[in-house]
Amino acid sequence: MKALQTTTSIGLKVLFKAPAGSRSVAFSPDGSTVITGSYDKTARLWHVKTGKSLHILIGHEDWITSVAFSPDGTAVITASQDCTARLWNTKTGQLVHILQGHTENINSVGFSPDGSTVITASFDNTARLWNIDTGKTIQVLEGHKGWITSVAFSPDGATVLTGSWDKTARIWNIKTGKELCHLKGHTNRITGVGFSPDGTTVLTGSDDKTARIWNVKTGKEQYILKGPTNRVQPIMFSPDSTSVITGSLDKTAYLWDVKTGQQLHILQGHTRDITSVAYSPDGTTALTGSRDETACLWDVKTGKELYRLQGHTDTITSVTYSPGGTTVLTVSTDDTVRLWTRSGKSSNVLQERTGAAEELYVKKLYQVLGK
């Protein structure tokens, strides 16, 4: 195991000093741009190579909970506790539509694979489908009896998956808004959901300390993934749909075989809760982020820790790979976003951008807007 620091052959860049409380992040499809969403009510677009702030997306009236790029990279969607989602032009940073209709916090958003539709999940117990050209609601997905915590589109874009605090997940037809499958089995709140890349199975995580694999066609539970001793929250399928990774508040992550439901590896080494997980695009490595201020890179085949990413001074809230898999991005409540590379060349820490001028600009704009 190696610690990724500025003295190693693994390069570290402090990509930018982000606004206080940045909690959500996404790469653009081409890997050239990053969006962050923050507690300061703004989202920001950043240039990866330079760390320069491209646009500050201002307009939300409460903190931003979720962000996503459109598949073609021309638009971004932001969700907020102000009960709205907002669609923005990536090139200009201009607001395109305000998606209004939810009556409680929106906590999760996503684009359909073809980029024509957005889904939002809310604490008002509903999810909504929106037309991005008009900004109008297409369908309201009603039926859950508790907060909807996570949503996902199927790979073919024909259905969506919702997970709720009512202990169930549901699969819906996009065109009709009708419920197709009601996934019952968890004994506590569902914390995360996802479709396999091949579209045949669904993964759910829960406060009941389990994750579960379901058959999409039948809605039947295939496997209960038992092992963690606390909440299972961050979950993800491997790119080839053969394995899944789950993270837990018990400080461990697990790799599981999708076909058998068996444990492949227990990823141990973190000293506090695991907050985020990710697979590399080629599926050979996995990444975990933790409240212990570190992220770890793991070999999927062996379950061995390859590198420990050290440098943050507070909880890591989100981790992700670039689309090409050559770099890793970590977001922390220490107000920095860090880019880690395995080039073997760079060992520099870029100067942190304090963003003082930008912060003053934001404050002035909010004064003008009366916010």
pLDDT at 239: 98
- Does pLDDT of 218 surpass 50? yes
Q: Which residue has the higher pLDDT, 47 or 361?
A: 47
> Does residue 36 contact residue 67 with C-beta atoms inside 8 Å?
yes
The 10s digit of each residue's pLDDT in 77-106 is 999 999 999 999 999 999 999 999 999 999
- Does pLDDT of 181 surpass 80? yes
Rounded-to-integer distance, Cα 219 and Cα 215, Å:
5
pLDDT at 19: 56
- Does pLDDT of 361 surpass 70? no
Among 196, 199, 202, which Cα is nearest to 181's?
A: 202
**Strands, E assignment, 238-363:** 243-248, 253-257, 263-267, 274-279, 285-290, 295-299, 305-309, 316-321, 327-332, 336-341
pLDDT, averaged across the chain: 88
Over residues 253-267, mean pLDDT: 98
- Does pLDDT of 226 surpass 80? yes
What is 235-267 written as a DSSP string? EEE-TTSSEEEEEETTS-EEEEETTT--EEEEE
In sequence order, the 6+-apart residues with CB closer than 8 A to the CB of 228 are 209, 210, 246, 248, 250, 252, 254
In sequence order, the 6+-apart residues with CB closer than 8 A to the CB of 360 are none
- Does pLDDT of 107 surpass 90? yes
- Does pLDDT of 345 surpass 50? no
pLDDT at 50: 82
- Does pLDDT of 349 surpass 80? no
The encoded tokens of residue 95 equal: 């607001």
pLDDT at 158: 98
Over residues 346-358, mean pLDDT: 31
The 10s digit of each residue's pLDDT in 282-295 is 999 999 999 999 99
Q: pLDDT band for position 327 (50/70/90)?
A: confident
Q: pLDDT band for position 12 (50/70/90)?
A: low
Rounded-to-integer distance, Cα 26 and Cα 33, Å:
9
Over residues 2-19, mean pLDDT: 46
With vertex at residue 277, the alpha carbon angle to CA 337 and CA 275, rounded to the nearest 5 degrees, is: 70
pLDDT at 65: 94
- Does pLDDT of 351 surpass 90? no
Q: Which residues pair with 128 in a beta bridge?
A: 120, 140
pTM for this model (two decimals): 0.88
Domain 24-142 has CATH 3.40.50.970: no
In the chain, what are the domain boundaries?
24-142
- Does pLDDT of 365 surpass 60? no
pLDDT at 366: 38
